[in-house]
Amino acid sequence: MSCDPIDCDRAARRLWAFLDGELPAEDVAEMERHLAECVKCHGLTEQQRGFLAALGEMECADDPAVEALRVRVREMLRGG
């Protein structure tokens, strides 16, 4: 882990892995420190959390097509 704080670009690249719980603990701590200090990244993170929550609350949330859409959206947002 780097001792230097991460910048917004690095935080943005890690955002979806962070939200999906896929980051190692030291990277989570680094993201949390950045989000506590950066209003812009904190706002973006909360916006994306809201987006994920809305997808999860859809009435047809158990529909395989909806799950496929969630996966595709996450991949697209990650740049994949």
pTM over 0.75: no
- Is residue 61 pLDDT above 70, yes or no? no
Which pLDDT belongs to residue 1? 43
Q: Which of 46, 44, 37, 48 is nearest to 7 (CA)?
A: 37
Rg (CA), the chain: 14
What are φ and ψ of residue 60, in 5° steps?
A: -100, 35
What's the length of the chain?
80
Which pLDDT belongs to residue 57? 76
For 43-79, letters b (16+ CB in 10 Å) and e give ebbeebeeeeeeeeeeeeeeeeeeeeeeeeebeeeee
Which pLDDT belongs to residue 78? 72
